[in-house]
Structure 1
Amino acid sequence: MLFDALVINANPLLNLVHPGPYTPGAVNRVAALAMVAEGKGVNVARVLARHGHRVALTGFAGGHSGAWLRELVRAEGVHDAFVETLAPLRVGFMASDPQDEHPTTVFPGGFEVTQAECQALLNRVESWLDSVRLVIASGSVPAPVADGLYADLLALCERRGVRCWLDAYGPAMGRALAGPVAPGLSKPNRQEWAQSPGWERVEELHITDGAAAIEIVESGRARWRVWPPALRQVNPVGSGDCYLAGLAHGWLAGLSWEARLRYAVAAGAANALRPDVAMIAPEEIPPLLDGVRLERL
């Protein structure tokens, strides 16, 4: 069976969310809390599935928390290809008051994985490469032992002739940028771009900067500057993931270069208008397309 994309989220998150007003430093009794599957790759896979794409999602997910996340992922129509780990998946908390531009979030940075589990994930990816058009690795890695994971992944995809995009940060991204195979596409924010050398090797680089203009660099040269629509943000968390999903949708659907950029920026803007994270529907994006401004450099 053929899939449009295989998404890798090595360090996903099971997030307990309160989507409403709250009072810091007080007992807050609310009607309900929601348990949500999150992580950069989870967000990308969810948005692609909502666009009708056949998507498989892999990464590390162990314990009861991992099982719950996998159940939530499957309910979104995403194929579960996760690798189970001995350590349980991380669990976080987010309170998102519609009156606050930035939600309150608390979550662990990662969880323990072993070298054998890292190799099992690479083996899982390799088993899928004959069945997918695009591989997207998105997010951090859960532990230092996995810092070489993305460099190995890029080399694996290169050997098998499958295009691989990488949206990550920290030491794992640094090793990938210094490795033998550069990503086909990356989407650092301005701070991540400044922290790691080697970005000039990326074939297609999208440097985001919150609500400011996005700079697109191809083969080391700046080519485009793109401004998102003017809007009042409700919750910008996950907008970069929706932008990446919009780029992937445009690439998979065969949209023109300019149409792909407009769609990706509008997808990120649509997410910022909602209190939840990467839950946008395709019909929310077209009304924002006319507000996207492109400049060829």
Structure 2
Amino acid sequence: MILTVCPNPSIDTYAWLPSFERGVANRIAKQQEFPGGKGVHVAMALREMGQDTGLLGNWAGHSGQWIKEACKDLGIPCFGPELNGANRKCYTFLSAGSDLNHTELLEPGPAMAEESYEEMLQTFKLNLENASLAVLSGSWPKQSPDTAYSDLIDIAKQQQKKVILDCSGVMLEKALDKGFFGLHLNEHEAKAICQTEDPLEAIQQLSKKVDLVALTRGKEGLFLGYLGKVIHANVTIDKVVSTVGSGDCLTAGIALGVYRGLSVEEIAGYGVAFGAANCLREDLGMLYQSDVERLLTQVKIKELNYV
């Protein structure tokens, strides 16, 4: 099993407006809701590809129950502490021909109490025993300690389990101080940490702390450093419908490739095919196996050399 961790789940809402005018009432013509949060997207992608996964999160209020039920309907068991308040909602507005198009509004979500945090750590420790790999993704609720991810990494090290992390800011900095197996980050996060826009230079720096570095640069694709190789992988798609959750699906592809013991080139191919497949449909943070399988045959792979 691959254990997925989503400390801050959400309900992702697509809202369509025929037009948008400032200072007056604007009516939403249509909206759709999806289970969201970075780790939720990872879990859904893995499950769609037939991989057993369990989802550890912090759940709060009616929105938390809705997210859990939606995940369970997809065959994803959910566990973790119940928090006061409500899980956040994240809105993506679509309005053709206005500056509102693809604008996102993110609610704050619940706060983490000390006893709930301890429950989160213990639940992670218990469920990791039945997993070969853990994927840790996204933000944490308010009042969580800055050491949250590094605390989970300590537990994983005690059990000699691999961890793939996708986060940013001070939590990432503290996690890097510990060192761990795999990291997914984008070009902006890499620049903030490594003070360089050169992906090869960033991978060289980060490889001192982690074994696998997956650095994404939007349309430029994926730069994957692993087992002494740096692979560039990319795939072209005709039309992008939505990019929400594409990075999370890419993380899922990397994780599944590692879990299956694939080559570095194949892991990179999984990553970009998963990420691109998510762009093809309106379902937020979701991919379809048929799209992934088709895209895998179209991925372009190139091995790069450090200068």
Q: What TM-score do the two structures reach when normalised by structure 1?
A: 0.89
User: How far apart are 1:290 and its partner, in Å?
Assistant: 3.5
AA aligned opposite 2:287 = I
Report the counterpart of residue 18 of structure 2 in structure 1: 22
User: Superposition pairs for residues 113-192 of structure 1, below 5 Å?
Assistant: 113-179=112-178, 182-192=179-189
User: Superposition pairs for residues 1-297 of structure 1, below 5 Å?
Assistant: 4-18=1-15, 20=16, 22-25=18-21, 27-30=26-29, 32-96=30-94, 103-179=102-178, 182-196=179-193, 199-200=206-207, 201-218=209-226, 223-297=230-304
Instruction: Evaluate the alpha carbon distance shift between residue 218 and residue 86 of structure 1 in structure 2; reply closer, same or farther with a 3 A threshold.
Output: same
Give the 3-state SS of the residue equivalent to 1:15 in structure 2: strand
Instruction: Evaluate the alpha carbon distance shift between residue 183 and residue 110 of structure 1 in structure 2; reply closer, same or farther with a 3 A threshold.
Output: farther
Instruction: Evaluate the alpha carbon distance shift between residue 29 and residue 232 of structure 1 in structure 2; reply closer, same or farther with a 3 A threshold.
Output: closer
* CA deviation vs aligned residue, 1:36-66 (integer Å, no higher than 9, x gap): 2101000000111111111110121112221
With 268-277 and 147-156 compared, the bigger mean Cα shift is at 268-277
Q: Aligned partners of 1:266, 1:138: CA distance in 2, in Å?
A: 19
User: How far apart are 1:184 and its partner, in Å?
Assistant: 0.7
With 150-159 and 207-216 compared, the bigger mean Cα shift is at 207-216
Q: Aligned partners of 1:97, 1:77: CA distance in 2, in Å?
A: 34
User: How far apart are 1:131 and its partner, in Å?
Assistant: 0.9
Instruction: Evaluate the alpha carbon distance shift between residue 119 and residue 99 of structure 1 in structure 2; reply closer, same or farther with a 3 A threshold.
Output: farther
Report the counterpart of residue 197 of structure 2 in structure 1: none
Q: Aligned partners of 2:175, 2:153: CA distance in 1, in Å?
A: 8
Q: Is the 8 A contact 2:134 2:164 kept in 1?
A: yes
Give the 3-state SS of the residue equivalent to 1:186 in structure 2: strand
Instruction: Please list every run of 5 or more consecutive structure 1 residues that lacks an aligned counterpart in the other structure.
Output: none
Q: What TM-score do the two structures reach when normalised by structure 2?
A: 0.86
- Aligned pairs, how many? 289
With 95-104 and 76-85 compared, the bigger mean Cα shift is at 95-104
AA aligned opposite 2:127 = W
Matched-pair identity in % = 26
User: How far apart are 1:265 and its partner, in Å?
Assistant: 0.6
Q: Is the 8 A contact 2:222 2:268 kept in 1?
A: no
* CA deviation vs aligned residue, 1:135-192 (integer Å, no higher than 9, x gap): 110111122433211001111100111111111111111111123xx12111100001
Q: Aligned partners of 1:29, 1:139: CA distance in 2, in Å?
A: 29
User: How far apart are 1:125 and its partner, in Å?
Assistant: 0.5
Q: Is the 8 A contact 1:15 1:36 kept in 2?
A: yes
Q: Is the 8 A contact 1:135 1:163 kept in 2?
A: yes
AA aligned opposite 1:124 = T
